[in-house]
Chain A
C-alpha cells in the first residue's frame, strides 16, 4: 500500500519570481497524487491562498493555510494555521512585518516584510511551525570541486548553531514545532538525512518530511531557472552557478517520497499528523459590514428607510411618482431581506462626505442605479427617466455582494480616500490589491532577457507584439522581428513564454476598491503598504474578495467630473445659474440634435472617431438612446457582431424577431440584439438553462483566465442547452459569440446609464455654454481624445472668442472674460491659462496669479522678482508669447528674459541701476508670421493667429493637394490628396490592424483610414511625421466621409526647407 503523505512546504508563483506553478496547478496535482493535504506556504504572503482554496474545494483536497517566514534574527520557518485564532495571528504577524518594513525603509520597499523572532513569538498562538533544516544545517561533507580530497567533517560549531536555532524556536512553539527534512538527490542524501536526524534529536524536535516544492511538475524546471534570472536581473547563463542543479523540487509520487526518506522512519507519518491538527479553512472567515453610523435608538433598517423617503421627497418636490414609490418600497424590502442596509449606509456616508465637500460624484454598478440610490443621492440617473432597469439590481438567488462603484472628480478623489481611512481607521479600511500578471509582451521581454537575447533584440520583439496578441501569435511576431521561429532559441523562448503568461508578477493597487470591515481588517487578511504614500492594500484582489463575499466599494477617479464641476463654476461665475448634475435641464431636443450631427468634440465618451461615425446613424433622441450609444461602441458588441444588426433593426431594414417569448423579454428593449452584459448573461439563463451562478462563471471564464479547455466546456454546455430548447444551431453559435465578446469588454446597462448621464450633461454644457465648457476642458487636461489645439479650434468654430495667454491676464487655468447675457451670440471669451505654456510648472503659474494682485507687470524682470520665477520659467513664458501686453514680441521677450539671473533670490544690489532699454535688442531680426505660428505650436501646442498649413498652401496646391474642405465635398471613390497636421493616431484592437488618423489643415479635419500594409510601407514617414500628405480615395457612409489611404508621405520629406510643415513639432495623440 502506498504511504500517506501531506506536503507541508510548497511555494506557489505568488512568491513572485520564485515559485513556478499556479496555486491551482499545485492543488490539482497534489489531489491527483493522493496527498492527504497540501500547505501553500508562500513567502510572507497569503495572496495566492484564496485561489488555492477555491481549487482545493473543487478538487476535494484539504488545504492548509500557511506561510514561509524569514525573520531577520532567527532561522527561517514555515508556519501553518490550525484554527481561526492561528489564522488571525498569521495575518497580524504579516501586517506587522510589512508595516515595519515601510517604517524602516520607506514606501519604496513596500514589498518587503521584516520580521523578528519576537514578532513571531508574540503571534505564535494557534500556529504550528516547521523549520526547514536544509537552510541551517551545513552539508555534512565538503568536497573540493576539482581535487579529490577526503571527506571533511564540518567543524562541530557549525552544527551546534543549527541545534541552537531549532531549540530557540522550540522555546516558542513547544510541542507545536517540527524539523523539516528536505533532500533532492544531491549526491549524499542519506548522509544528509542522518545529519538532519542528529541535529533534530539534539534539539529535541521531531523530524517531518517535506519537499520544499517550487513547481507542480518537473517540466517547470526551466521556467523556475528563468524566474530566478529575472529576480536577479541577469541572464540564466550568467547565474547558472546559483541555480538548483536538478528539477526535483516538484510534487512527487508518494512511493518515491517514501523511498527517499527510508532512512528516516516516521517522517512521513508526521506530515499526516501535522495536517490533521490544521483544521482551519478559509470558509470559516465571516465577513461583517462595518457598523454604519446610525443615530441611537434606531435600527439600520429604519435609518435607511427614513433617509430614502426623505431623499425621495427632496428629489420630487411635486410629489413622488407612483412608479418610484413602488420601486423604493420594493427595493427597501429586498435590502432588508438580504441584510445589506449597512452597505447602503456606508456608500451613502461616503457620498454625503463628497457632497459636503463639493466634490461631484456619481454612482454606477447594478445596485447604484436603484431608486433607493437615486433618493440617497448616490446617483443622479432619475428612475422615472429610465425604463425597466432594476429588475435584478441585487440578485436574490446569488449570494453576491451588491455592486456600487462611485466616480469622483479626478483631482479630488484622494480626499475621499483619506476620509475613508480617517473614518474607519487604518485597522478597518484598506484598498484592494490588484495582482499584476504577465502579459505576452512583458513575458517575452523578461524571458528573452533571461535567455540572453540582446537588449535591442528584446526591444524589437516586444515592439512587434500587439496588445491583443496571444501566445499563438508569437512565432509570427518573432519572424517579424527578424528571428527564425523554428530555431532552438525561439522554440525555447516560445515554450517558456507560454507558461509564464498569466503568472502574477507583483502586487499593485486596485484603481479604487476600498475594503472596510467591522472588526480588525488585519484579522481577516494581511495588510501591506502600497507604493503610493499613505495607502495600504490588503493582500487579496477583487476576485479573491468576491470569492469570500467581502464587500468593497470602488472609489474611482473621473476626469470628466472635474471638468463638469469646473464648467458649472464658470457658468455660475459669469452670471449663469448654479447647476448640479441633477438640475441640468433634461431631454433638451437641441442637445440631441447637436449629438446627432456628431458635433461632439470634448463630450464625454462619444467624442472618439468610432462614436462620432456612429452618432449620425443612431441619431439619439432620448436618454435611453444615449445609454445604448455608450454601450454599443465597445469592443464587446463589436466583436460579437451586434452593431450592424441593431442599426438595421433600428432603421427598420430588418424585422425585429425573437425565437421565443422568454428571449423577447430579455432583448425587447434593445430590439432583439443583446447590447448589455446583463442581457448576454440573462440569455444564457433563459435560452440555455444556465443557473444565474453558472452564467456568471461563464462570464468570468471568458474574461480573466481564458483557459481554452474551460471555454470549450462552457461552449458545449451552452449550445447543447439551446439546442435542447429548440433553438437553432446558428442562433446558438451566435449567442456564444456574443457572450464571448462581452467577456472582458462588455458594458453593463447600469454603467452605461451612469455614463450616459455624463454624456448628456457634457453635451448640454457644450451646446448652451460652449465657452465655459471649453475652458473647463482645457483646465482638466490631459483628458479625452483631443489636444487643446483641437478644443480651441472647435470652440472658435462655434463662435467663441479665444484670447491668448498673457502674464497680465491669464490665471493658471483658462478663464472666461465678460459675462453671460441672454441670447445665443453673447458668449464670454476664453482667456487661455498659463497651463498652456509648455514647461511652466503649476506652482510658478500660481505665484504669477498671486503677484499680479499688486498691479500689472511692466517688465519681465519685474515679473521674475515679484513672482519668484527663475530664468527658465521666464523663458518659457517669453517663448509662449505671454508678454504681449508688455509690448514685447516673442523674440524681444526672450532677449529680455535671458538677461535675468538664474535664481531670483540672488540678485545683486545694483540690479535697479541697470539701464532699461540697454542694448542690442533692436538688432534682432523680427519673426515672420509663419515663424510666429510655428513658435505658437512649439510652445503652447496651438496658435490663435493662423493655421500653419496656410503658409504651405501654395506649394501644396502646386503639388496637387486639395484642402480638406474641398476633399470632403468630393463624390464617393474619387482620388484625392490631402495634407494636414496629424492630430490622432489610433489602432483599435477591434479593427484588424487598421489605423485611423485624424489630420487637420486650415479648412478643417479629415478622417483617414489606413490599411496595415499601407502603414507598413510608409513606416518611418507615417509614424513620425508632424504633417502628412495622404493619397487616397473618398469613402462616404451617410454623413461620414473618410479618405481611404493608398499612400502616406511626410510633408517635410516632400519639401524639406523652408516649409512650415518641416518646422512643426509632432502634435498627435497616439493610441496605438
Chain B
C-alpha cells in the first residue's frame, strides 16, 4: 500500500515574493500577467496582513474575492471599494515569472527531501501534459509538491505527526502550506485543497485553528478515499474548466456524482481526462511522481557539504578546502559538456531547527564575465568576497550552486603548446583574452560588478545619450539562462544604426562646457545673410585660454529629445584652431550660447 503526501502552497507566486520581500506582508501584492492584447490581468494576489475590518465594516476576508484573470484595473477598483483607495496606492504590482516560480518551488522540493527521498513538483502524467500543451491552461502554474511517504511516516511518529511537522516546518520558514496524506497523489491533492470541507469522522484533521483560518492538514485513512472524499466539489478532481462545465450541465457537481457514473457513460461522453482523474483519485490507476526530471533546470549544479560545524573551529584553510572540493564537483560535469560557470551562489547555512524562527543563510553571489571551468579561479573570486564577510557562529552546511552556465571557450593549448612556445614566452591571443577576463573578474570582485563597464553606442541623436555603459560580456558567452536582474534592467536598444553622418569625438565632457565667443571677431549677423546662421565664432575663450579658429565643418543641426523633456536644439561644428586643436562646439539655438562638447584627437 502506497501513501502519498501533497503539499499545497496557496497563491504560490505571491508567497514566493513575500519570502523575498517580507516587508510586503503589510500591503496588497499583485502578480500581474500581460495578456495578448496588452491588458494586464491578475495572475495571483494576496494581502498577507490585511486589516481585519474592511471599509464598509465588512469582514475583509469575505468581502474581497479577485479571481485569476481579472483585469488589473478592475482588481484595483474592487480593492478600493473594499479597503479604500489607499490600499491601491500602497499595493505592489509585480510581473509574473513562472520560470522563477517553478525554480523556487523546485528548491523547496529539494529542501523537502528530508521528509521523503521522492519529492516532485508534478506527477509524471501532468509533466507530460504540460510539456505537450504548455498553453492549455494559462492560469495554472504549479503550486504543489508531491511526496511519496510510503513507509517514511514511522520516522516522524506517524502520519499525522509527519503531515503536521511538514506544515509547521514550512511555516517556520515563512511558507504557508496545506498538506494531506492519502493513498494516491490525487486523493491527497483533493484533501489538501479542501481541508475545510472534510468531515471529522474518519479523517484525521488538524484542529480548527484560531481566527477561523482553514485547517492546515488532513490524513485520509488507507482505502477510505472514495467514501470520504465523495462530498467534495468537482474542483477536487483537478479538471479543466470545460469538463467541469459539462458535468455541471448535466447536474453533476460533486466527486461522488462522478464516482457513481458507469465507465461506459464516462468514456462515451467526457474527455479522457475525467476517467483518468477518477482512476487517479481512487487508485485504480497509479500516478507516479516525476522526481528528478524537473530539478535539473535550475540550478545547473549543486553540491552541498552538510555537517554541522562551529565556525570557531574552522580555519580559513579548511573552508577553502571544502569550497574547492565543492566547486570542483560542480565544474567537472559542466566542463564535460563544454560549459563553464557564469554565475554561482555559495550559501553558508546556519542551523535552522524545526519550529525555530528562520535565520537567513549567508549568501555569496559570484558573477563572471566569461564562463570559467577553473575551480581555482572560482575559489579566488569566492574568497575575495569571503574576506569581507563575518561568518555566522555556527554552520549547518555549505551549499554551492551553479546558477548560470555558458559555453566555455574551446582551447587546446596543452596539445600544441611546444610548437608556439619554442621561441620563448609568446602570448597567444587566447591567453590575452583570458588575462583580460581574469582582470575584469578581479576588478569587479573588488569594485563591484556595476563599476566595471564598457561604453556601447546607442542610436540616439543627442550625443550625450548616444552611448550607455554596458557589462563587458563577450557576446559568444551570453549565459544560457538570463539572470532575473538582466531582464529587469532591460536590454539596450541595439541594432538599427543611426543615420547621422557627422563626426563624433573620442573625448566628451560629462556635461557640455560653456565657451565664451569673442564678439569682436564674430561676423555681423544680418537677417538676410544666409551664411551667418552657419558659422562658429572665429575666436573663443575656453578655460581662460583664447583659441583662434582656422577651419571649420558644419553645421550639423540636431533637434531631438523632445519626448523626454524640453527639446534639445543645437548646431554642431568641428573647429580647428591655430594650435592644431580640434574641438567640437555647438550653439544652443534657443539662446545662441556656445558650448564645447568634445575634443578630437
Point out residues on A near B: beta carbons under 8 Å.
Answer: 139, 141-148, 184-188, 218, 221-222, 225, 236-243, 245-248, 255-256, 258-260, 262, 451-452, 455-456, 459-460, 488, 492, 879, 891, 894-895, 898-899, 918-920, 923-925, 927, 1019-1020
Q: Does B503 contact A (CB under 8 A)?
A: yes
Of the A-B pairs whose beta carbons lie under 8 Å apart in the complex, a sample of 30, sorted by A's number, is A143-B501, A144-B504, A146-B504, A148-B506, A148-B601, A185-B556, A186-B500, A187-B503, A218-B559, A237-B564, A238-B493, A239-B496, A240-B459, A240-B560, A241-B460, A243-B461, A245-B461, A245-B557, A245-B558, A246-B558, A246-B560, A255-B528, A451-B563, A459-B73, A894-B249, A898-B250, A898-B269, A899-B269, A924-B250, A1019-B77
Question: Which A residues are CB-close (under 8 A) to B457?
Answer: 145-146
Taken together as a complex, chains A and B put the C-alpha atoms of A923 and B262 apart, in Å, by 11
Please tell me if the beta carbons of B555 and A919 are within 8 angstroms of each other in the complex.
no
Residues of chain A within 8 A (CB-CB) of B459 are: 240-242
Q: Which residues from chain A contact B72 at a C-beta distance below 8 Å?
A: 456
B451 beta carbon closer than 8 Å to chain A: no
Residues of chain A with a CB closer than 8 A to B564's CB: 237
List residues of chain A with CB within 8 A of the CB of B252: 924
Q: Enumerate chain B residues within 8 angstroms of A256, measured Cβ to Cβ.
A: 530
Taking a contact as CB atoms under 8 Å apart, the answer to whether A147 and B461 are in contact is no
Question: Which residues of chain B come closer than 8 Å to A185, judged between CB atoms?
Answer: 555-557, 571
Residues of B with C-beta under 8 A to A238 = 493
Residues of the B chain whose Cβ atoms lie less than 8 Å from the Cβ of A460: 73
Complex Cα spacing A394 to B413, Å: 97
CA distance A492 to B561 in the complex (A): 12
Which residues of B lie under 8 Å from residue A894 when comparing CB positions? 249-250
Which chain B residues lie closer than 8 Å to A225 at the CB level?
562-563
Chain A residues whose CB sits within 8 angstroms of the CB of B270 once the complex forms: 898
> In this assembly, does B54 line the interface, its C-beta being within 8 Å of a C-beta of chain A?
no
Contact call B502/A146, Cβ cutoff below 8 A: no
B538 to chain A, nearest CB (A): 18
Point out the residues of chain B lying under 8 angstroms from A241, CB to CB. 458-461, 493, 496-499
How far, in Å, is A219 (CB) from chain B's closest CB?
Answer: 10
Q: Which residues of B contact A243 (CB under 8 A)?
A: 461, 560
A918–B268 CA distance with the chains assembled, in angstroms: 11
Q: Does B81 lie at the interface of the complex (its beta carbon under 8 Å from any beta carbon of A)?
A: yes
Mask: chain B, 74-85; 1 = CB below 8 Å from A; 0 = not: 000110010000
Given contacts A221-B562, A237-B563, A919-B262, contact A143 B504 (CB under 8 A): yes
Q: Which residues of B contact A451 (CB under 8 A)?
A: 563
- Taken together as a complex, chains A and B put the C-alpha atoms of A761 and B334 apart, in Å, by 85
B interface residue numbers (CB < 8 A to A): 38-40, 72-73, 77-78, 81, 246, 249-252, 260-262, 264-265, 268-270, 455, 457-461, 466-467, 493, 496-506, 528, 530-531, 534, 553-560, 562-565, 567, 569, 571-572, 582, 600-601
**B497 CB contacts on chain A under 8 angstroms:** 241
- Chain A residues with Cβ below 8 Å from B531 are 259
Q: Is B504 a contact partner of A247 (Cβ separation < 8 A)?
A: no
Closest A residue to B246 using CB positions:
A898
Q: A145-B498, A262-B530, A898-B270 are in contact. Are A918 and B558 (CB under 8 A)?
A: no
Cα distance A148–B559 when bound, in Å? Answer: 23
Q: Report whether B460 and A240 are in contact in the complex, using a CB–CB cutoff of 8 Å.
A: yes
- Chain B neighbourhood of A1019, CB < 8 A: 77
Are B563 and A259 neighbours in the complex by a CB distance under 8 Å?
no
Residues of A within 8 A of B528 (CB): 255
Q: Report how far A440 CA is from B385 CA in the complex, Å.
A: 58
Please name all residues of chain B whose beta carbon is closer than 8 Å to the beta carbon of A259 when the two chains form the complex.
Answer: 530-531, 534
Q: Please report the C-alpha to C-alpha distance between residue A255 and residue B582 in the assembled complex, in whole angstroms.
A: 32
Chain B contacts of A246 at CB under 8 A? Answer: 461, 557-560, 569
- Find the A residue at minimum CB distance from B573: A187
For the complex, what is the distance from the CA of A472 to the CA of B72, rounded to whole Å?
A: 29
A143 and B502 in contact (CB under 8 A), knowing A241-B493, A245-B560, A894-B250? yes
- B260 adjacent to A187 (CB under 8 Å): no
Partner of A187, one of B81, B553, B565: B553
Please report the number of residue pairs spanning A and B whose Cβ atoms sit closer than 8 angstroms.
161
* Contact status B38-A147, CB under 8 Å: no
* B557 with A248: CB separation less than 8 A: yes
Closest 3 CB pairs of A and B: A241-B459, A259-B530, A187-B556
Cα A237 to Cα B562 with chains together (Å)? 10
The one of A245, A879, A899 in contact with B559, judged by C-beta atoms closer than 8 angstroms, is: A245
A244 to chain B, nearest CB (A): 8
Shortest Cβ distance from A226 into B: residue:
B563
Q: A188-B502, A255-B528 are in contact. Are A492 and B560 (CB under 8 A)?
A: no
**Contact for A141 among B251, B501, B569, B600, CB less than 8 A:** B501
Residue in A184, A247, A918 whose beta carbon sits within 8 Å of that of B264 in the complex: A918
Query: Would A891 and B251 be within 8 Å (CB), given that A898-B269, A1019-B77 are in contact?
Result: yes
Q: What separation, in Å, do the CA atoms of A222 and B461 have in the docked complex?
A: 14
Minimum CB–CB distance from A232 to chain B (whole Å) comes to 10
Residue among B250, B455, B601 with the highest chain A CB neighbour number at 10 A = B250
* 15 additional contacts (CB under 8 A) given A185-B556, A245-B498: A145-B500, A148-B503, A184-B557, A186-B557, A187-B555, A237-B564, A242-B499, A248-B557, A259-B531, A262-B530, A456-B38, A891-B251, A920-B260, A923-B261, A924-B251
A186-B502 Cα distance, complex, nearest whole Å: 7
| Assembled-state Cα–Cα distance A238/B555 (Å) | 27
A919 touches B265 (CB 8 A): yes
Output the least CB separation between A162 and chain B (Å): 16
Cα distance, A255 to B528, chains bound together (Å): 7
Q: From known contacts A185-B556, A245-B558, infer whether A925 and B251 are also in contact, taking CB-CB under 8 Å.
A: yes
Instruction: Name B39's contact: one of A146, A459, A891, A927 (CB within 8 Å).
Output: A459
**Residue in A186, A242, A920, A1020 whose beta carbon sits within 8 Å of that of B556 in the complex:** A186
Q: For A147, what are the chain B residues with a Cβ–Cβ distance below 8 Å?
A: 504, 506
The interface residues of chain A lying within 8 Å CB-to-CB of B78 are 1020
Q: State whether A920 and B262 are in contact (beta carbons under 8 Å apart), knowing that A221-B562, A243-B560, A891-B251 are contacts in the complex.
A: yes
Contact of B530 among A239, A258, A456, A898 (CB under 8 A): A258
A256 to B532, CA, bound (A): 11
Give the docked Cα–Cα distance between A185 and B267 (Å).
Answer: 77
Of A143, A146, A237, A259, chain B has the most CB atoms within 10 Å of the CB of A146
- CA gap between A891 and B39 in the complex, in Å: 37
CB of B76 to closest CB in A, whole Å: 10
A839 to chain B, nearest CB (A): 13
Closest Cβ neighbor of A262 among chain B residues: B530
What is the CB-to-nearest-CB distance from B127 to chain A, in angstroms, rounded to a whole number? 27
Cβ 8 A contact of B40, one of A456, A891, A1020: A456
Interface centre among A139, A145, A186, A894 (most CB of B within 10 A): A145
Complex-state Cα separation, A60 to B474, whole angstroms: 64
B92 to chain A: closest CB distance in Å?
16
Q: Write out the residue numbers on chain B whose beta carbons fall within 8 Å of the beta carbon of A145.
A: 457, 466, 498, 500, 504
Contacts of A188 in B (CB 8 A): 501-502, 553, 556
Point out the residues of chain B lying under 8 angstroms from A186, CB to CB: 500-502, 556-557
Cross-interface CB contact of A923 among B40, B260, B455, B466, cutoff 8 Å: B260
State A75–B173 Cα separation when bound (angstroms): 70
Complex CA distance for A221 and B461, rounded to whole angstroms: 14
Determine how close the nearest CB of chain B comes to the CB of A431; give it in whole angstroms.
31
In the complex, what residue of chain A is closest to B562 when comparing beta carbons?
A222
Q: Give min CB distance, B86 to chain A, whole Å.
A: 15
Q: How far is the CA of A641 from the CA of B554 in the complex (A)?
A: 64
Q: How far is the CB of A1057 from chain B (nearest CB, A)?
A: 13
In the complex, what residues of B have CB within 8 A of residue A899's CB? 265, 268-269
Can you name the residue of chain A whose Cβ is closest to the Cβ of B534?
A259
CA distance A927 to B249 in the complex (A): 10
How far is A241 from B38 in the complex, measured between Cα atoms in Å?
25
B530→A236 contact, CB < 8 A: no
A239 to B493, CA, bound (A): 8
State the Cβ distance, A429 to closest chain B Cβ, in Å: 39
Tell me if A245 and B504 are in contact (CB < 8 A).
Answer: no
Report the minimum CB–CB distance from B153 to chain A (whole Å): 39
User: Cβ of B502 and Cβ of A148 under 8 Å apart?
Assistant: no
Say how far B443's CB is from chain A's closest CB, in angstroms.
22
